[in-house]
Chains A and B, each alone.
Chain A
Amino acid sequence: MINAILVFNNHGKPRLVRFYQHLAEEVQQQIIRETFHLVLKRDDHICNFLECGSLFGGSDYKLIYRHYATLYFVFCVDSSESELGILDLIQVFVETLDKCFENVCELDLIFHMDKVHHILQEVVIGGMVLETNMNEIVAQVEAQSKLEKAEGGLSAAPSRAVSAVKNINLPEIPRNINIGDINIKVPNLSQFM
């Protein structure tokens, strides 16, 4: 099982944090800090696994991480997961982000946190791997976007309409329209009433 997924940048600023076991806020922050210190002091060509001691309260856990440009992706897993498998999974996640954001960069993670969470949700739920097939994941994310767009179209309309109605000072409108020589057909306002 995956206990936590942590993404932070080279300065230790968390960019995506997901815990799959219940931990108090302070504990989470401490784990993020300690994980960062453990990972930071390792150079890039040594192994991608390290035992995290009692960080999660057991000897069974390992940190498996990859370093991409400015970001560290760290998965904390127990012994039921294959180390190389998780390493692949990190790659799948990052490649998926890259496809969804077109050349993903740290800023995308910052400004589209909700999206990143939704993408992660298609890969891992409750600490278990849901899907490893990138095309399938991207298809799900695209389906989500479509839904959002469709709703955006629908939901945006009424709210615009409402504010439009609020701003309209009905008696004035005909007068305004009549000013000048532009002849505009007065819309039939009855539907708004």
Chain B
Amino acid sequence: MPAVSKGDGMRGLAVFISDIRNCKSKEAEIKRINKELANIRSKFKGDKALDGYSKKKYVCKLLFIFLLGHDIDFGHMEAVNLLSSNKYTEKQIGYLFISVLVNSNSELIRLINNGIKNDLASRNPTFMCLALHCIANVGSREMAEAFAAEVPRVLVAGDTMDSVKQSAALCLLRLHKACPDLVPVGEWTARVVHLLNDQHMGVVTAAVSLITCLCKKNPDDFKTCVSLAVSRLSRIVSSASTDLQDYTYYFVPAPWLSVKLLRLLQCYPPPEEAAVKGRLVECLETVLNKAQEPPKSKKVQHSNAKNAILFEAIALIIHYDSEPNLLVRACNQLGQFLQHRETNLRYLALESMCALASSEFSHEAVKTHIDTVIGALKTERDVSVRQRAADLLYAMCDRSTAQQIVAEMLSYLETADYAIREEIVLKVAILAEKYAVDYSWYVDTILNLIRIAGDYVSEEVWYRVIQIVINRDDVQGYAAKTVFEALQAPACHENMVKVGGYILGEFGNLIAGDPRSSPLVQFGLLHSKFHLCSVATRALLLSTYIKFINLFPETKGTIQEVLRAGSQLRNADVELQQRAVEYLKLSSIASTDVLATVLEEMPPFPERESSILAKLKKKRGPGPGPEGDEGRRDGGAELNGGGEPPPSTASTPSPSADLLGFRGGAPAPPPAGSSLLVDVETPPNPPPPGGAPPDDAFLGAGPPPPDAPPLPEADELLNKFVCKNNGVLFENQLLQIGVKSEFRQNLGRMYLFYGNKTSVPFQSFVPTLAVQTRAVEPGVEGGAQVQQVLNIECLGEFRGAPLLGLRFRYGGAPQSLTLKLPVTLNKFFQASEMGAQDFFQRWKQLSMPQQEAQKIFKAAHPMDPEVTKAKLLGFGSALLEKVDPNPDNFVGAGIIQTKTLQVGCLLRLEPNAQAQMYRLTLRTSKESVSKHLCDLLAMQF
């Protein structure tokens, strides 16, 4: 007999659904729905009290309308009435409506909570289950506050029915996930562990899920679960397929519970007790053995269930990473699956093998499958599977297989799906660099990458090839020759032009001896691409040209001609125009010696973590799984070129160095007493000869630091800039100081504009910084503005902003002024996006009291969520949507980047509109940073 009889439905509902289904057009459907909504609204508002049946019917109609994609903003009150009814049918539908159409209206939630409370206390198991399901489905903070204490009581009470226990366990789990802080650990925890021994398999399953989640936070409190889980698992695994009756699924005993138990065990290291460990190893062996037995059924469900356990067992073996015998068996098993006809199994085998590849015991065993994996990359029809194959190739790559794997990935790239091309490009670039023995191979590989998938080659990749070529003189000649050849292709990617331009500008001389690549030929080749390129590339090429003038005096005339052309000198783009003007001037007035000094070959870049690797990590997102493992392995491995000498401090970065964003390489004396490194340069305005390469800043002797204490309002002025980078820093009747700044990672650049508001010139105008600086033009004409550029590097954590002292004479009277430069620690904030799970995991990891800083304060400005959002973004953190269960709250995450350390920061801002208060919580890995950021940010609202 069917459990649902079809005849007893609600006629009105059926008629309505049929009407909708008969609608010929979307418009007709919307019309019908609106009619119905109006009808229901009037029914709900009408004076006539509706009976339960009608309410139920209308609520069902609303649910149906919601399913069709229409927002439902009423009916909640009726639903609350239904769930408070003592009739099961009405209660059931009321709860359903509330859990599908969650509403955060607080008055409503109070009523719902009231209904739930009554049902929990009712001792009617059916009602209790309905109430628990509703809490679990909604899982809001308000519910956690109301029931976090009650649910554990229900769970461990001796007289609770099994079905209620099951629901209560999962309900508690959901509350813990939503608000871990509200679920207290109590004496019930020990009793929860003992639920693993419960008679009822359903209860055990729910309890395992709960413990798996709770034990991550307090592993010690739940340690006893390991031996209980092992014995439970062993009983299931060794049971005959008929022992567990209902929980046997297609001849597999309790597959779901087995999987959950194996997951739970992955939260702990291998058991220390020999007996427990022995029993567990036996279990794992049994699972592996069973995989070799003939199937008990041909149904796919049978093999699915069996393999679900098998894969989980393998995951546990990999997690332990201590039993070479099991690891190799696991690898062989996965090897079989690699060729299985079920696509699902091939997919999962590739995924699991990724993790195996990083184990020292099984790395070699994994490598034996290289041909199969390459085959998968080439022939799989499913992009998900191909992606896994590419991941595995990346994970299993080592020095002996690198050439083969890189070649295969390159050839795959030609046909790869667009969605994964960029990632493949990054992987190829990393492997090529990491395992390059012969750097000409590396250069070939990267140039091939650009040729095949130029659009997907990100800046990081081509920056990196230039870094490496510059740092290794054994490959420079080869690189010059290769890019020259590559550029001869009729259509070559702009990234190729960039790399080519840069490399020829540095090392074109190495191939100039060959008449086929004489200086003028090289120039002609590059210049033939010039007009097709973007502004950034053209700017780079202009720098190449001036370098050519230095390398090849014979090209001077031709190049000057090009620079002098109206299209350059009067280019609408200010950067191009400036470069053309400066380079032309430089080439015509500087002596050969000066030219040679200014345009000297780039010094080697300092060794740092590969920017590509960082990019790949960022792309894949932090988190568990094989990506995390890769990151760990790569992070530890020494990258090639590590032995390069440190950059010489006498070097001269070329003007285009900053284009590559490598200012970290600029030589700099450490400033005393400050962890901020600010170097100051005066840009040519109008351009003075020499083009002001950044090292000019270090020629001038450091003037005395500002002597006057900062203005009383300096802090307040500084405060305005915490969340923004541009604006007016200071203004009085004489002078206006504007600021424009940009920051990336631990580097920043700031433009200061000093405007004279009077009609009288300022004399002896000297802005000084607590660090080294160079004077700007000593006079500022009336009404004129001078500009000063600061390059900033954050060396370490700091609290105080650097001081900016200003001295000048106005009409004979000396003026002086000291301000705080708007550089605060949060400027070096790099936003990180993450999901709720990640966020909470990290949040939990930073749970030591000194890692947290919290402030509760009154709102100083109107509480507008949009403004708040903008401020938080301006502060530098990422805004994470849908992380906080309360949509009014804001959570953010980011990393403070300094040269010496990186500090991960999580923040949460909880506005309370009624009280006009905020609560701000910061958690970072460093106490002082938490506090400082909290102080800075709290002043903003």
Contacts and interface: CB of A to CB of B under 8 A. Distances in A.
A118 B56 CA distance: 14
A29 B621 contact: no
B246 interface: yes
Interface residues of B, number: 91
Interface stretch (A40-48, A68-76, A170-178, A182-190): A40-48
Interface string A10-46: 0000111110111101000100100000000011011
B460 to A, nearest CB: 19
Interface stretch (B306-314, B649-657, B865-873): B306-314
A23 B100 CA distance: 11
B635 interface: no
Contacts of A113: 60, 63-64, 67
B202 A136 contact: yes
A50 to B, nearest CB: 5
Contacts of B578: none
A132 B2 contact: no
Contacts of B126: 143-144, 147
B79 interface: no
A128 B126 CA distance: 19
**Residue of A16, A21, A138 ringed by the most chain B CB atoms within 10 A:** A21
A80 B256 contact: no
Interface string B1-38: 01111101100011001000100000000000000000
B603 to A, nearest CB: 38
Contacts of A131: 166, 202, 205
Contacts of B419: 53
A49 B170 contact: no
B382 interface: yes
A100 B8 contact: no
A47 B385 contact: yes
A49 B9 CA distance: 36
Contacts of A79: 623-625
B620 interface: yes
The interface residues of chain B, by DSSP majority, are classed as helix
B63 A46 contact: no
Contacts of A99: 2-3
B844 interface: no
B625 A84 contact: no
Contacts of B344: 47-49, 83-84, 87
A7 to B, nearest CB: 10
Nearest to B381: A46
A144 B4 CA distance: 9
Interface string A109-123: 011111101100100
Contact of A145 (B4, B247, B308): B4
Contacts of A47: 343-344, 346-347, 382, 384-385
B25 to A, nearest CB: 15
B620 A133 contact: no
B348 interface: yes
Given A51-B384, A145-B4, A84 B348 contact: yes
A144 B2 CA distance: 12
Given A79-B624, A82-B263, A87 B304 contact: yes
Give 6 closest A-B pairs by Cβ, nearest first.
A58-B835, A126-B136, A84-B308, A46-B382, A126-B174, A47-B343
Interface of A: 1, 14-18, 20-23, 25, 29, 32, 42-43, 45-51, 53, 56-61, 78-80, 82-85, 87-89, 91-92, 99-102, 108, 110-115, 117-118, 121, 125-136, 138, 140-145, 147-149, 151-152, 155, 159
25 contacts: A42-B382, A48-B343, A57-B881, A58-B836, A58-B838, A59-B623, A78-B837, A79-B625, A80-B263, A84-B344, A87-B304, A87-B344, A112-B9, A114-B63, A118-B92, A121-B133, A125-B133, A130-B166, A130-B167, A135-B246, A141-B3, A145-B5, A152-B8, A155-B89, A159-B51
